[in-house]
Structures are given as structure tokens and as C-alpha cells.
Amino acid sequence: MKIISLNNLSKKYPIYGKPSDKLKELLTLKRRAYHEEFWALRDVSIAIDSGSTVGIIGQNGSGKSTLLQLIAGILQPNGGELIVNGRVSALLELGAGFNPEFSGRENVFMNGAILGLTHRQMAARFDAIADFAEIGSFMAQPVKTYSSGMFMRLAFSVAIHVDPDILLVDEALAVGDLIFQHRCLHKINQLRDQGKTILFVTHDMSAVAKFCNRALLLDGGRLLEDGPPELVVQKYYAIVYARERQYKQIHTGSLAPCESVESSGPTEAISPIRTVPNVDHRFGNEEAVILGVELFGPYGEPAREVTAQQEGTLRISTLCRKPLSNPIVGFTLRDRLGIQVSASNTSYEGQALPAAEAGDIVTVDFQVTFPDMVPGSYSISPAIANGAPLDHEMCDWIDNALVFQLRNPNLVYGMLRLPIRTRFAIMRASAAVP
């Protein structure tokens, strides 16, 4: 059953150039407009199954809170259709639904009334609410005297104790202390297991991957991506990465123009990496050294988590200290037990590198489709050598310079799943010639 359906849902706000414009508009009885329209949400269509846990992510101002407020019925849309089949309990940005002048206790009962529960029903829940919120004697104090953490604890406690079919949570978890965050996530887990529908807005990507079975990415008020959390999170990182690059470009003027992030692999010119995340052991004659190593996900975003059968790029940058006649750049891939899973280098891949001078920075991209291996942690050991594939001098080798997680939704027996196709034939006994 679709518990929430949005069809081309849109919300706009009037934007006034200066406060007096609003007054001017009122004076003309709104016959003349002194504002521009700003679409906080534009043509968003989503159908949500009952029992799903949906993470909503996106940059600041992308429309996440607006979306939740529409679903909660706090805002009215300017276009499109919204159908909600169930009782909604919302924990929205601080302030919504609570009156600061009233005590915590009074607010609990008022909130219950708004959600359609009787005084008696709320009274039966009151102790559990107070117990979960753990704000003690402050329950009798006006809410305006609460810290933002206390306020949120009470709001969260009410939201989960009113038997909602749908729970909307906007960012709120970040405000509580760590113990309370654990308690909230545990409670959200329980509600999920009870088959409640949960939508939560967060900037915590690991929470999305951990708790959600679906994620939505909003950008500039539009739905940019809708699908499995790991893919949507990667797309989000790609946007953030592109924005950081643009920022750096404006502030240093040193980077190549940032192109679209749609295609696979890092999209810009091959710019050197200057960070080595880890050095377990290093050896070589130092005629050239590894300058940096980075792994990029399918949208060109730096990634420490990749998915089997998806594309990615391993980038290795090296600095030549002496002239190298035949540089070879390569890497070894190991599993968490240190067993070599694979290795490759420019020569093996048929990508001969030209001779390099002292001071040259040589950067190589290895574009790869991650194999269907057992999920877990793997390491990359990059290297640069000079000479022929079977007869070379090692210039620099770094053990386990970069560690990443491989996800694999498929079941894998042994170390990897072979790319197999099957076919069969049956010679039926009944059809056999005697």
C-alpha cells in the first residue's frame, strides 16, 4: 500500500527585495506584486510504501524541511497533489507544535490533542513520555526555559508515544547528547520493526546507509535521485565534491573548470593527488616517490566505500626526483587478511608512460569495475618503478596506503563470484527411445 503519494508537489514562497515591499504590496491590497516567486519545492513525485524507512538528504536549502512540513500538513502546497493515509507524527525543526510559554506537561497534552488523542489517552502515556525524555522536574517549567537539547528530547518523546503510522523526523537527532541519540535511534529501529513508515531528514550519511531502505536526494527544490541509500548517498557526495571544487577554483583560481558530475569517473582533467592516507611500510630507491593516492566512486567523488560491479577510479600521483626512462605506476589490492587479491600497473595494462624528468609529477588513473567479491575492507598499496615489467628498480612502494570498504548486496560464496552463465538440457525418461 502506498501510505504517502506526492504528485508534482510544489511549494513557492514570495521573496521581497526589501521589507517595505511587503507593506507596499499590502497597501495595494495585493493588486500589484512587489515580490518575486521562489520555488522551494518543484514538481516532486514520490510514492512511499507503508513500512519503509526513507532518508531525505540534500544540501542546505534544497527543500528537505519544506517537504516534511508539507507531508505533516503544516504547509499547504501551491501545486500538485498530496495523499497521506495515516496518522502523522512529526518531529520538525525546533519550535513546531510547542508553545514556549506553557510547561512541558501542558505541551505534552496540547500536542496529543493536535494529533487527535484524548486527554485520557495522553494521561495513560504521560509517564512513559516523561521517562523517555528524562528532563525531570523541568516538566513543570515553561518550555522557553529549556535548552535546545531538552526541548528536542521532549518533542521526540511525544512524537514516538502517540502511535503514529508515519513518523517524520527533521534533523533533530543531532541536538541531543550521545546517549539520547542512541536511545532515539534504537526507538526508530523499533518503530521500523513494527512496520511504521519513517521519513527522516539528516546530514548524517552513515545513518542513511544504516537505517533506510530508500533515500531521496533533493537539490534546488527538485528530486534529483530516488533509490537505494548507497547510490543516492554517492550522488550526494558527488554534488558536494563538485561544489568544493568550484569553491576552491574561485578562491585559488588554480583548478581546471568543473564539469558535469553525470559521467562516471573523475570528470575533470587528471589533477594530482597530494595525500597518502596511510603508510604501514615503505621502501624504494626514492628516485621517484608516491605523492598521493585516492579512490573515486562512480560519480567521481572521493570514496572510502564502493559497491561491487560499480565503476570507480584509483588515482596515483608520483613525483620524479631523478629522470626516469621507463616509469611504471601500479598497485596491489589486498583483503583484510593481507592476501593479495590482484595487482596491476601501467605496463601490464598496455599504457606505456613517457620518460619523465626530475620534478615531473606523473598521475595515473586506473578505471575499474569493482569485482563481485566478498564485502569487507580492502587495501591499496601503490608503487612506482623504473624499467621493464620483469626487470625494474623499485622507486617507491607504500604498503596499505589506502583502505576502503567494498559493499556487495549479492551473496558471494568463497572470495568472489565468477561471471558465469548457465544452460541446461534434460533428456526426459518418458521421451527416451527404448
Ligand X SMILES: Nc1ncnc2c1ncn2[C@@H]1O[C@H](COP(=O)(O)OP(=O)(O)OP(=O)(O)O)[C@@H](O)[C@H]1O
Judged by CB under 5 A, the number of residues near Mg ion is: 1
Which residue carries 503544516 as its cell? 74
Q: Hey, is 129 helix, strand or coil?
A: helix
By residue count, the chain amounts to 434
Site string (44-63) toward ligand X, x via CB under 6 A: --------------x-xxxx
Q: Is 69 in the site for Mg ion (CB under 5 A)?
A: no
Distance CA 212, CA 422 (A): 34
- Minimum Å gap between C-beta 13 and Mg ion is 14
- Minimum Å gap between C-beta 60 and ligand X is 3
Binding at 143: pick from ligand X, Mg ion, none (beta carbon under 5-8 Å per type): none
Q: Is 65 in the site for Mg ion (CB under 5 A)?
A: yes
Taking the least distance from each CB to Mg ion, the nearer of 222 and 417 is 222
Structural element, H or E, at residue 161: none
- Minimum Å gap between C-beta 406 and ligand X is 30
- Minimum Å gap between C-beta 248 and ligand X is 22
Binding at 102: pick from Mg ion, ligand X, none (beta carbon under 5-8 Å per type): none
The CA distances from residue 147 to 71, 143, 178, 218, 370, in Å, are 28, 9, 16, 31, 48
Cβ atoms within 10 Å, residue 261: 20
End-to-end CA distance of the chain: 56
Asked if 415 contacts 354 with a C-beta cutoff of 8 angstroms, the reply is no
Judged by CB under 6 A, the number of residues near ligand X is: 11
Binding at 39: pick from ligand X, Mg ion, none (beta carbon under 5-8 Å per type): none
Q: Is 66 in the site for ligand X (CB under 6 A)?
A: yes
The CA distances from residue 178 to 70, 92, 184, 399, 415, in Å, are 30, 20, 10, 36, 38
Rule CB under 6 A: choose which of 65, 310, 318, 347 binds ligand X.
65
Q: Is 40 in the site for ligand X (CB under 6 A)?
A: yes
Point out which residues bind Mg ion (CB under 5 A). Answer: 65
Point out which residues bind ligand X (CB under 6 A). Answer: 13, 38, 40, 58, 60-66
